[in-house]
């Protein structure tokens, strides 16, 4: 609750710097719930810094009213929308077109206004790619291990296949779910680019230097002492570890990677760059490193509360 209050105060300070005029364009977020979102902080900060006549607001949309919300937003001349859980797949049937990565993943988090409706994108994944690149990690050069087979892991698997990772192995507690994702990705790409393994079978992985992308919910605050694999032996193969979780700032997975001598990163930059990619799509202005860093610092301050 304290955290929400803090974010609201930050947002109020920001909004006081935004002059809403007759020309001001509206962007927003639809989801259920939306109270904890940090997207207004990202977009209103960028709007102020870039001098863009835009304001960003959250909209709580009931699960059975997604269609009405999209049509209503278009009728109200809304410039663009972000979409969060649980509506990321439900919005697809209301779009006029969809980017190919988002289509493959089957989830959309950004809507961009076009002549006759909204086009859908998945900036969660373009944002992950950009976050990694900002830390010098190129998926295309990497042997990738994806831990988990939920919604986020599925998207990560499509991103890694799109980026032509050297190899992709999904490890999950429930093997069936990992196999289903591998089958889907392999069907789209017409070759066996993704392998599935049960989590406990990690000892059978070929010995290599891996990029491990932690895509389970294990280790999320307040469970900071948990990681999906606790064996140091596994982490000796992980040269770079990227945890999609950003709260706590340093997860147990990251601690284990570092302890074994690797480099580890959390998911806050992914959150940052999914927002920046959406902002750029809506406003057709590039966001430079200074602006990105300023927003990143604000996000860090708010995560720490
Ligand atoms: P999800 O669909 O609920 O999937 C959860 C995954 O975690 C499944 O693979 C599940 O395995 C695994 N898991 C859960 N508890 C486990 C346990 N005790 N032992 C082993 N595996 C366990 O969640 P999601 O939407 O994919 O999200 C995953 C994480 O990514 C979340 O923490 C979320 O916060 C984070 N995320 C971050 C960003 C960002 O911007 N940084 C964006 C999206 C998501 P089973 O299949 O066996 O149940």
**Ligand 1 within 6 A of 151 CB?**
yes
| Residue whose CA lies nearest to ligand 1 atom number 34 | 245
On whether the CB atoms of residues 272 and 127 are closer than 8 A, the answer is yes
DSSP letter, residue 267: T
User: For tokens 């709260």, what's the residue?
Assistant: 247
**Ligand 1 within 6 A of 244 CB?**
yes
48-to-3, 13, 274, 299 alpha-carbon distances in Å? 23, 11, 18, 16
Give the tens place of pLDDT for each residue, 58-81. 999 999 999 999 999 999 999 999
User: pLDDT grade, residue 12 (50/70/90)?
Assistant: low
Q: Mean pLDDT, to the nearest integer, of 182-189? A: 97
On whether the CB atoms of residues 62 and 91 are closer than 8 A, the answer is no
Distance (angstroms) between ligand 1 centre and the Cα of 1 equals 23
**Ligand 1 within 6 A of 239 CB?**
no
Distance (angstroms) between ligand 1 centre and the Cα of 276 equals 23
Q: What is the mean pLDDT of the chain?
A: 94
Give the tens place of pLDDT for each residue, 103-157. 999 999 999 999 999 999 999 999 999 999 999 999 998 999 999 999 999 999 9
Distance (angstroms) between ligand 1 centre and the Cα of 52 equals 35
Q: Which residue among 82, 132, 173 is best mutated to probe the pocket of ligand 1, counting the most ligand atoms within 8 A of its Cβ?
A: 173
**Ligand 1 within 6 A of 188 CB?**
no
Cα–Cα distance, 76 to 111 (Å, whole number): 14
* Angle subtended at Cα 295 by Cα 289 and Cα 301, rounded to the nearest 5 degrees: 135
**Ligand 1 within 6 A of 80 CB?**
no
For residue 172, what is the enclosing H or E element? Answer: strand 167-172
Distance (angstroms) between ligand 1 centre and the Cα of 149 equals 7
Distance (angstroms) between ligand 1 centre and the Cα of 289 equals 30
State residue 3's pLDDT score. Answer: 52
User: For tokens 């937003």, what's the residue?
Assistant: 73
β pairing state of 167-172 and 143-147: parallel
Q: Mean pLDDT, to the nearest integer, of 187-200? A: 97
**Ligand 1 within 6 A of 152 CB?**
yes
Q: Mean pLDDT, to the nearest integer, of 237-243? A: 98
Atom from ligand 1 closest to the CA of residue 173 = 47
Q: Mean pLDDT, to the nearest integer, of 21-49? A: 97
User: pLDDT grade, residue 1 (50/70/90)?
Assistant: very low
**Ligand 1 within 6 A of 86 CB?**
no
| Residue whose CA lies nearest to ligand 1 atom number 14 | 217
Q: Report residue 143 as tokens.
A: 């042997």
State residue 18's pLDDT score. Answer: 85
């Amino acid at each position: 609750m304290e955290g929400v209050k803090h974010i609201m105060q930050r947002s109020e300070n920001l909004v006081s710097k935004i002059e809403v005029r007759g020309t001001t364009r509206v962007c927003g977020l639809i989801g259920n719930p939306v109270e904890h979102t940090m997207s207004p902080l990202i977009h209103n900060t960028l709007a102020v810094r870039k001098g863009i006549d835009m304001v960003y607001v959250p909209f709580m949309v009931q699960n059975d009213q997604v269609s009405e919300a999209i049509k209503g937003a278009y009728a109200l001349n809304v410039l663009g929308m972000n979409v969060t859980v649980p509506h990321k797949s439900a919005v697809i049937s209301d779009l006029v077109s969809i980017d190919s990565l988002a289509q493959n993943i089957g989830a959309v988090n950004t809507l961009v206004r076009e002549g006759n409706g909204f086009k859908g994108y998945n900036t969660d994944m373009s944002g992950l790619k950009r976050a990694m690149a900002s830390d010098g990690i190129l998926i295309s050069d990497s042997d990738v291990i994806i831990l988990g087979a939920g919604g986020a892991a599925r998207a990560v698997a499509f991103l890694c296949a799109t980026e032509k990772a050297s190899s992709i192995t999904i490890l999950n507690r429930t093997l069936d779910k990992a196999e289903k994702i591998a089958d889907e990705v392999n069907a789209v790409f017409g070759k066996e680019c993704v392998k599935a393994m049960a989590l406990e079978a990690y000892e059978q992985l070929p010995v290599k230097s891996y990029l491990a992308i932690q895509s389970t919910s294990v280790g999320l605050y307040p469970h900071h002492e948990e990681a999906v694999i606790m064996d140091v032996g596994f982490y000796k193969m992980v040269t770079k570890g990227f945890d999609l979780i950003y709260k706590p700032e340093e997860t147990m997975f990251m601690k284990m990677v570092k302890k074994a001598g690797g480099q580890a990163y959390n998911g806050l930059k992914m959150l940052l760059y999914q927002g920046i990619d959406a902002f750029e799509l809506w406003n057709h202005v590039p966001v430079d490193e200074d602006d990105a860093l300023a927003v990143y610092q604000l996000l860090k301050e708010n995560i720490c509360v």
